[in-house]
Structure 1
Amino acid sequence: MSNYLQQKFGLAGKVALVTGSSQGLGRSMALALAQAGADVIINGRDASKLGAVVAEVEKLGRRAVGIAADLGKREDVQRLIDQAIAWQGHLDILVNNAGLIKRTPAVDHSDADWDLVLGVNLDGVFTACRAAGKHMLARGSGKIINIASLLTFFGGITVPGYAASKGAVGQLTKALSNEWSSKGVNVNAISPGYMRTDNTAALQADAVRSKEILSRIPANRWGEPGDMDGAIVFLASAASDYLSGIVMPVDGGWCGR
């Protein structure tokens, strides 16, 4: 890598926390940040699943640690951020990736499912942003990247809680950017398209819906977790210092249709 690329895109000396990084998109983004030079905190609810990803990061020559936390519990989120900062004494990059989805027609969507989805996808994101933001503002620098969704822009079908939460994540990203970008903290979001992950397993298995979805993607394929790597490194690096408050689709062209 040339000196120019190292200065713009390199993450040496940076510490990143990726929530929900024991598998799927989170794991891929954590490994991408490590390959760019960052030390990485791996997070998930199940502590037994963190070690494998920690080992993958360490094989890349970077430091890593696993911290289990339930992003649906505010006290767990605060503890996670506190421990992430304490690990190396600073936190430079926060990727709010953890999220869940409940597929039920709106008239049958229970209060419990609504509260669970909003608790993780929105309350957890705000709590993490607030805690990490306080630390980053005191240091005068930081990158926060929220993982939104195509349903930040569209309503979806039978996922009212998920659509509401991801729409709110887009607005929260803009609201925090308005307050923090002048103080050295960039807040942006990525909206993944239809990716091959556990969250979309039901759609992939539905022959009719899967065909409908694929027919609208100009790239003519579902996304893979690795398709997020370039966007996450870019938004975490100095190359994006003048970007704040954006919601970037990584969707194979879906939003252009």
Structure 2
Amino acid sequence: MMRLQDKVALVTGAASGNGRAIARGFAREGAWVVIVDRNGPGAEVVAEEIRRAGARALAFTGDVADAASVRSVVRSVEAEWGRLNVLVNNAGVGTIFPFLDTDPGDWDHLLDINLRGVLLYCYHGGRLMRESGGGSIVNITSQLAEIGLPERSVYCASKGGVKMFTRCLALDVAKFGIRVNAIGPGVIRTAMSEARLRIPERLAWYENRVPLGRVGEPEDLVGAAVFLASEESAYVTGTSVYVDGGYLAQ
């Protein structure tokens, strides 16, 4: 039997990159997948890919930082499929800037998406999940929740915030049968990182510092996501799994 058979799974930021890979991986395991992205046409493309493969999918245009948008999407999922069993908070941005020379408005944009968006979906999605009898929340953090880098202070703060929120929320909602965990990717080849990885010297820099000798691909996250979403991890909550080629082990 497939590991996510008939589970309703919502993935944010799923029109491309890591979110798309996770959504498609869930569908292969039998999940009914909800694709949410600011890029509505892109979300529909992914949903149609899943449908053509014989699985069920819905697509919604949504802004994770907008409470009304989040509430509307969750209500639509409830109206369409009646429950929510898995939530993956993947949407994020990776703006790089020197802290003292930037506009505070830039912080707001990054924190709204990377942190507030996670809180909003955990709140609205978590309430539906509670009514559904429990489930699994998977928040996407970063290896930068554990280490610091220049010009990434606000980004690291946002991902560190998600890591600690994950731990605390797991304690709050365990009594409802809801597990909350996080995945911390290393350098993954997505639109967010592609500009850096196109520079040969920068690519070599990453490859030389990752014990497994390569940067990651979105598909590298799928196994961890399926594990944390499924009953295989029924006794796992409040933890972070780092998918980083061994970078943090050094």
Once residues 185 and 78 of structure 2 are traced to their aligned partners in structure 1, the CA distance between those partners, rounded to angstroms, is 27
Letter in 2 for 1:15: V
Paired residue secondary structure (1:194):
coil
Shift of the alpha carbon at 1:106? 1.5
Letter in 2 for 1:100: V
| Contact persistence 2:84–2:132 (CA under 8 A) | no
Whether 1:115 aligns to 2:108 is yes
Question: 1:168: which partner in 2?
Answer: 161
Letter in 2 for 1:117: L
Paired residue secondary structure (1:219):
coil
Shift of the alpha carbon at 1:207? 4.1
The size of the alignment, in residue pairs, is 250
Please give the residue correspondences for 1:144-183 in structure 2 after superposition, counting only pairs within 5 Å: 144-183=137-176
Once residues 41 and 190 of structure 2 are traced to their aligned partners in structure 1, the CA distance between those partners, rounded to angstroms, is 20
Once residues 191 and 121 of structure 1 are traced to their aligned partners in structure 2, the CA distance between those partners, rounded to angstroms, is 13
Q: TM-score, normalised by structure 2?
A: 0.96
Once residues 61 and 212 of structure 2 are traced to their aligned partners in structure 1, the CA distance between those partners, rounded to angstroms, is 36
Question: 1:86: which partner in 2?
Answer: 79
More displaced stretch, 140-149 vs 74-83: 74-83
Once residues 181 and 105 of structure 1 are traced to their aligned partners in structure 2, the CA distance between those partners, rounded to angstroms, is 39
Letter in 1 for 2:232: A
Shift of the alpha carbon at 1:172? 0.5
Shift of the alpha carbon at 1:55? 1.2
Deviations 1:7-39 (A, max 9, x none): xx6111111100000000000000000000001
Once residues 154 and 209 of structure 1 are traced to their aligned partners in structure 2, the CA distance between those partners, rounded to angstroms, is 19
| Contact persistence 2:206–2:214 (CA under 8 A) | no
In percent, how many aligned pairs have the same letter? 38
Whether 1:219 aligns to 2:244 is no
Q: Which ranges of structure 1 fall in alignment gaps of 5 or more residues?
A: 1-5
Shift of the alpha carbon at 1:212? 2.6
Q: Which ranges of structure 2 fall in alignment gaps of 5 or more residues?
A: none
Question: 1:3: which partner in 2?
Answer: none
Whether 1:97 aligns to 2:90 is yes
Shift of the alpha carbon at 1:171? 0.4
Whether 1:43 aligns to 2:36 is yes
Letter in 1 for 2:10: L
Shift of the alpha carbon at 1:208? 4.1
More displaced stretch, 76-85 vs 158-167: 76-85
Once residues 143 and 232 of structure 1 are traced to their aligned partners in structure 2, the CA distance between those partners, rounded to angstroms, is 10
| Contact persistence 2:85–2:132 (CA under 8 A) | no
Q: TM-score, normalised by structure 1?
A: 0.93
More displaced stretch, 131-140 vs 121-130: 131-140
Please give the residue correspondences for 1:129-148 in structure 2 after superposition, counting only pairs within 5 Å: 129-148=122-141
| Contact persistence 2:37–2:63 (CA under 8 A) | yes
| Contact persistence 2:65–2:120 (CA under 8 A) | no
| Contact persistence 2:140–2:182 (CA under 8 A) | yes
Paired residue secondary structure (2:248):
helix
Once residues 73 and 138 of structure 1 are traced to their aligned partners in structure 2, the CA distance between those partners, rounded to angstroms, is 23
